[in-house]
Structures are given as structure tokens and as C-alpha cells.
Amino acid sequence: MSSWQLEESGRGFSYRASGGSEGKDETKGFIALRKKEPLDMRYSILTPLTAEKILNYWSVAEIEKVLREYGEERFSSRIAQRILEERKIRPISNTFQLVEIIRQAVPPKFQHQKIHLATRTFQALRIQVNDELNNLKNALPQAAEALSKGGRLAVISFHSLEDRIVKNFFKSQELKILTKKPITPGFKEIKINSRARSAKLRAAEKI
């Protein structure tokens, strides 16, 4: 994924905007503008699945599983149930609507956390739509195969499930692991680029 996809693609990757708001969001103690974009979330328009299809046609159990496994969302069951209730009234079609559903499902005392209350749900849907974990599993062997002896492979992940896949892959190959523990950004880097806060870098060298 890229910053362009988050900010300019208009495919519903993010619920925040820098202008043209549909509403104000004061969840984290400051006013942030919220986007009203279609719930697409595809990196490629050739991908048949969209977030909108998941939210409107998948079962409650399937949605709950996606939010729990890919978003590690503690309120996955409540959010999935609220999605069902909403789609009985009207189709769930845009990011603004989804954020409101999540807000109604999450208990008030948990709505003022360090991470925005909608982050995990949006993340989970994006991972499912683009089959990100399987694509990572398929890409890693290809990357290792392309290396010459002494060549290095560095992978930055932004999710614990991704990091686990990279870690296990490095261990299973004839690679010299260069990072016993993943390298994470320091305070200064996170201050400059907040998106780096969950980044983990692992590197290995082909023997």
C-alpha cells in the first residue's frame, strides 16, 4: 500500500480527510475531518471483492472472524452485529457510515484510546479484500529466489500477523538472519511520520 492509496485513490482506505469533511471527529481529543468515500478498499480494480460486498453480504460470523483475526478487534462481535442491524435498514456504502456503525458498537469508555476506534476494522477489511497475508506468503519465496549469494532481503511489516509470517519464513530458509529482533522506529521518526509507529523491519542475507 502507499500514501497515495490512503489519501488520493478515493477507494475508502481511510476515514480521515484533510478537507471536504462530511463530519467532525473528536474521538482523540482533537477535531479531524472525516471522509465519505465508497467502501472499495481494493489495491487493484481487477480484484472482485470489495469491503462493501463483505459488509452487506457476508454473514455476521464471517465478518466477526475477519475483524477478530485480521484487526485483532476486541469488540468484533459487537461491531459485526451492529453491521447486520444497519444493513437491514439501508446498504452500508461509505466510510462515514461505517465509522458511525463502529462508534455505536464500541462502549463509550473505549472510544478515547491511543488508536482511533475505527482503525482495526478498516485494517481488517483491507487485509481481507486484498488477500494480503497470502500475497505476502507468495511473494517472500519469489524475493528470496531472486537474490544472489550475499544478497539481502529486508521486509517492513505493519501488522503482527505479517511480521510473524516474515519471521517464520526467514527461519525456514537458508538465510542468515541479520535482525534477531525486528527494528522499530524511534520517537523522533514516529513524530515525523506517524504511519511508522507500527512498522517492524526484518532483514536476512542469502547464504
Q: What is the pLDDT of residues 110-160, one digit of tens each?
A: 888 778 899 999 999 999 999 999 999 999 999 999 999 999 999 999 989
Residue bearing cell 481529543: 29
The predicted structure's pLDDT at residue 27: 42
- DSSP-derived secondary structure letter, 101: H
Q: Is the pTM of this model over 0.95?
A: no
Domain with CATH 3.40.50.150 in the chain: 132-206
pLDDT-derived band at 30, boundaries 50, 70, 90: very low
pLDDT-derived band at 106, boundaries 50, 70, 90: very high
How high is the mean pLDDT of the chain? 88
The region, left, alpha or beta by phi > 0 then psi within -120 to 50, assigned to residue 134 is alpha
The arithmetic mean of pLDDT across residues 15-19, rounded, is 53
The arithmetic mean of pLDDT across residues 186-206, rounded, is 93
Residue 25 φ/ψ, nearest 5 degrees = -120, 115
Domain with CATH 1.10.150.170 in the chain: 3-130
Nine-digit cell string for 76: 468484533
* Distance between CA atoms of residues 56 and 125, nearest Å: 13
The predicted structure's pLDDT at residue 114: 76
DSSP 27-73: TTSS-EEE---BS---SSTT----HHHHHHHS-HHHHHHHHHHHH--
Determine what percent of the chain is predicted with pLDDT higher than 90: 71
Protein fold of 132-206: Rossmann fold (3.40.50)
* Distance between CA atoms of residues 95 and 41, nearest Å: 10
Q: In terms of C-beta density within 10 A (0-12 exposed, 13-18 middle, 19 or more buried), how is residue 20 classed?
A: exposed
Protein fold of 3-130: DNA polymerase; domain 1 (1.10.150)
pLDDT-derived band at 34, boundaries 50, 70, 90: low
The candidate with the shortest Cα–Cα distance to 30, out of 118, 122, 121, 116, is: 116
* β-strand partners of 25: 32
The predicted structure's pLDDT at residue 26: 45
